[in-house]
Amino acid sequence: MRFSTRAIHAGQAADTATGATIVPIYQTSTFTQTSPGEHLGYEYSRSGNPTRTALEVALAALEGAAHGLAFASGLAAETAVLSLLRPGDHVVAAEDLYGGTIRLLTRVFEPMGITTSFVDSTAPGAMQDAVTPSTKMLWVESPSNPLLAITDIEVAAAVAHNAGALLVVDNTFATPYLQRPLELGADIVVHSTTKYIGGHSDVVGGAVLLNDTGLRDSIAFYQNAAGGVPGPFDSWLVLRGLKTLSVRMRAHCENAGAVASFLDGASGVEAVYYPGLTSHPGHELAARQMPGFGGMVSLRLTGGKETAHAFLRSLELFSLAESLGGIESLASYPADMTHASVSPEERERRGINGLVRLSVGIEDIEDLLADLAGALDTVRRGQR
Ligand code: P1T
């Protein structure tokens, strides 16, 4: 089965108990046993639930993974992956990551003795140079949040494997429709399914996808032992969303490409970050690694923070909100929102201060461009 067919059918056969065509929401905490230890495969919904199983099978099918595990949030999924590490272990991470991931590494795992070196994963040799004898994991996002940097996943996998370490790729921005890191050599893929996979901004969730059965067992043990699982209804919402991933991603890519072209060179816009633009330093790599360039566009306006805030207040169709990947367009100011937990100096060094991030939805492109043009106009008039 090909991608769109898998999204609609993998793990989603008609319900064996009732014939229900769509996977039911098994809204139950527990399952009745016929005799102690004798049951139909499910005992208690933290350990397993049929709606969650359907989601896990579907997610694995989309990533081309042997195993899928669903979590209550993207960060719960990341925590489960990081639970593979022990005090003394070292992580080499890309420096452009979701702020919450940086917070998890530096403020939750570092005090437990697991250290992280953050490096520019787009600079040749930078990840290799950061590897130490204690390095057990490399962690990258591509495209990254919020600067949309592109990392060569095959190169990162080679660096990790030479060091005897695992490569983890957060594939949230690309989605499995545009990029399947396991096929490029990654060991583990994580997702915030809150974003494109869920796709409708109505549920928070996460996932881990991988091929290695031993690692799967360790992470599944943590999933049950620590308990950060999604409930049946949340599992069902993500499953409902992912059925349309391919059609939504095609529309996101088309609209984001048009938004990036419009902003590129527009008066008052200092820089546009979109891997589909030939001026993007990762453009050629992105074109090799992904069949489309995604739905996220970041930009910098002349005038810095005040101008950016005025621009964001002037938008009418784009909602000023955290998150991304839903059908509706969102705009954010990462320095004060998703990356507020990164220190101001670090944000300055990495070019996050002043940045505006757009999650381009699938509305009619004419309306989105008119909204952006209107906000740019308002800002320019205010500057006169
Ligand atoms: O929010 P949660 O489902 O826990 O996912 C965390 C997460 C993980 N990885 C990436 C790349 C992410 O972007 C996120 C969450 N990001 C936002 C909420 C945001 O607006 O960027």
Q: What is the pTM of this model?
A: 0.98
Judge if the beta carbon of residue 324 lies within 6 A of ligand 1: yes
pLDDT in tens, 24-48: 999 999 999 999 999 999 999 999 9
Judge if the beta carbon of residue 206 lies within 6 A of ligand 1: yes
Cα–ligand 1 centroid distance for 181 (angstroms): 18
Closest Cα to residue 188, out of 65, 71, 75, 89?
65
Which parts of the chain sit beneath pLDDT 70? Answer: 384
Closest CA to ligand 1's atom 1? 74
Per the listing, tokens 């990392």 go with: 151
Please provide residue 88's backbone torsions phi and psi, each rounded to the nearest 5 degrees.
100, -20
Ligand 1: residue of 59, 98, 332 to mutate (most ligand atoms within 8 A of CB) is 98
CB atoms within 10 A of CB 9: 13
CB atoms within 10 A of CB 244: 16
Active-site annotation, residues: 46, 98, 170, 195
Judge if the beta carbon of residue 289 lies within 6 A of ligand 1: no
pLDDT, residue 384, reads 66
Note whether 357 and 308 are within 8 A (CB). Answer: no
pLDDT, residue 383, reads 77
pLDDT in tens, 208-235: 999 999 999 999 999 999 999 999 999 9
74, 140, 215 from 156: Cα distances, Å = 22, 8, 19
Judge if the beta carbon of residue 338 lies within 6 A of ligand 1: yes
Q: CA-to-CA distance for 328 and 317, rounded, in angstroms?
A: 9
Q: CA-to-CA distance for 137 and 125, rounded, in angstroms?
A: 16
Note whether 136 and 85 are within 8 A (CB). Answer: yes
* Domains along the sequence of the chain with CATH: 3-242 (3.40.640.10), 245-383 (3.90.1150.10)
Please provide residue 138's backbone torsions phi and psi, each rounded to the nearest 5 degrees.
-110, 145
pLDDT, residue 6, reads 98
Q: CA-to-CA distance for 28 and 137, rounded, in angstroms?
A: 37
Amino acid at position 12, single letter? Q
